Amino acid sequence: MVNTLEKTPYSVAYIGVSFKAAIDQHALGKAALKNKDGNFVLPTAETVQAAASAMVAHTPADERMSLIFAPGANSYPIINYEYAIVKSAQANAATATELKSFLSWALQGNGGNAQKFMDQVNFVALPASVGKLSEAQVAKIH
């Protein structure tokens, strides 16, 4: 998408934040989007965090929800949680154990949810209360 956008004059595209380095390298620019409160905001860690924070209290136990167009003066309007969709009943105990181990690592602040990994893809870490909901989902794997 980055290459096509660069080669197509006057084009507009949505490119996820994980491609920020390529966007910057090719000097493609970013658009400020109008959020639910009527403010135009750029996709930054602060505006993504603002949107996530605005929706934390509304996150159901199964975590199925959209964060698109979250309220807040500084909320970026296009964000979502990242999901790993797995069956709770695995084919065997060894697979269940390994899957739970990996997903638990991914949720930990000193594991996959560590800032050093988030920075590499321009993501923000899960809010702590949402992480606890995710841990409860992982615990159901057997």
Whole-angstrom Cα distance, residue 92 to residue 57?
A: 35
Q: Which of 75, 23, 70, 69 is nearest to 48 (CA)?
A: 75
* pLDDT score at 17: 86
CB contact at 8 A, 6 and 27: no
Provide the β-strand partners of residue 34: 40
DSSP strand E in the chain: where?
33-34, 40-41
In tens digits, the chain (142 residues) has pLDDT values of: 899 999 999 999 989 888 989 999 999 988 999 999 999 999 999 999 999 999 999 999 999 999 999 999 999 999 999 889 999 999 999 999 999 999 999 999 999 999 999 999 989 988 899 999 999 999 999 9
* pLDDT score at 16: 87
Whole-angstrom Cα distance, residue 46 to residue 124?
A: 9
Q: What is the CATH number of domain 82-142?
A: 3.40.190.10
E strand or H helix at 96: helix 93-107
User: In this structure, what token pair is assigned to residue 81?
Assistant: 């949680």
CB contact at 8 A, 52 and 67: yes
Parts of the chain belonging to CATH 3.40.190.10: 82-142
